[in-house]
């Protein structure tokens, strides 16, 4: 393959990715497919999923059920994933509504049922967050016991305990945690909205993952590009 052909293929690939990536700006959320909705919630300018891994030392041992060290859910590579979302960002909330539409088989609802659904959706989307940013983090793991440990840890946290480890970072500010909540496998951070953001800035969500079995304690700092988060020319956080 010639150099010119390689360059052309690369340009085409980049073009296709860019075209697919901004579907949220080209059609209303009511027309997003299930896959597009998933992408908004998991891998988009307003959400991402990161995975932390560890090696379980006794994964290949000769432990048996009679051995106290035995664990039926042994994994050679235990991992914990965190899905981070800017829950106050309109695209994320639109994706939540669209997900509910798909799960409810909206197209098959009666006119009356659609009216109720639309009214509730409009009320949900009308909520604004002029002075705060809400970030939700949902965790998953491939080891059942680790999930229980994670749930116990995050359920016992509060603003005072997290005040020195949880921040919303911008180029000029390090914003402290204002409120904290936990339910099921999701915890939620509330921060004061940044005073000023430029399109070439990055905004980072920072917290500390605790040691869970073989996945060591570590600082998590996930950055998001403000330029990619723009909606109607303004940062959507």
Maximal CA-CA distance, the chain: 65
Residue at 10 is within a domain: no
Tell me which residue range forms the domain holding 98: 25-235
Is residue 74 pLDDT above 90, yes or no? no
Dist. CA 37–CA 15, nearest whole Å: 21
Residue at 19 is within a domain: no
Strand partners, 51: 81
Residue at 14 is within a domain: no
Share of the chain above pLDDT 70, in %: 82
Residue at 13 is within a domain: no
* Three-point CA angle 85, 155, 208, nearest 5°: 55
Residue at 8 is within a domain: no
Is residue 78 pLDDT above 80, yes or no? yes
The pLDDT assigned to 1 comes to 55
The position carrying tokens 């891994």 is: 53
The position carrying tokens 């909520």 is: 127
Helix-then-strand count for the chain, H and E: 7, 10
Cβ of 11: how many Cβ atoms within 10 Å?
A: 10
The answer for 200, left when phi > 0, alpha when psi is -120 to 50, beta otherwise, is alpha
Residue at 91 is within a domain: yes
Is residue 167 pLDDT above 80, yes or no? yes
What is the number of domains present in the chain?
1
The pLDDT assigned to 126 comes to 94
Verdict on whether the full-model pTM lies above 0.85 = no
Residue at 11 is within a domain: no
The average confidence (pLDDT) of the chain is 84
Is residue 70 pLDDT above 70, yes or no? no
Residue at 20 is within a domain: no
């Amino acid at each position: 393959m010639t150099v010119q052909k390689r360059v052309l293929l690369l340009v085409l690939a980049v073009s296709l990715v860019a075209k697919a990536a901004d579907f949220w700006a080209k059609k209303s959320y009511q027309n997003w497919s299930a896959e597009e909705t998933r992408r908004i919630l998991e891998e988009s300018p307003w959400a991402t999923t990161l995975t932390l891994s560890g090696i379980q030392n006794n994964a290949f041992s000769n432990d048996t059920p009679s051995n106290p060290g035995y664990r039926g859910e042994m994994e050679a590579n235990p991992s914990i994933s965190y899905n981070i979302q800017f829950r106050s960002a309109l695209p994320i909330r639109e994706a939540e509504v669209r997900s509910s539409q798909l799960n409810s088989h909206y197209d098959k609802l009666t006119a009356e049922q659609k009216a109720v659904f639309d009214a509730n959706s409009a009320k949900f989307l009308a909520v604004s967050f002029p002075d705060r940013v809400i970030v939700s983090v949902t965790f998953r793991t491939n080891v059942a016991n680790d999930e229980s440990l994670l749930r116990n840890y995050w359920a016992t946290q509060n603003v005072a305990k997290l005040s020195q480890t949880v921040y919303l970072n911008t180029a000029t500010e390090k914003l402290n945690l204002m409120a904290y909540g936990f339910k099921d496998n999701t915890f939620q951070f509330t921060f004061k909205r940044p005073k000023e953001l430029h399109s070439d800035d990055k905004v980072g969500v920072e917290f500390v993952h605790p040691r869970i079995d073989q996945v060591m304690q570590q600082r998590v700092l996930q950055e998001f590009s403000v330029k990619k988060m723009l909606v109607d020319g303004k940062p959507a956080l």
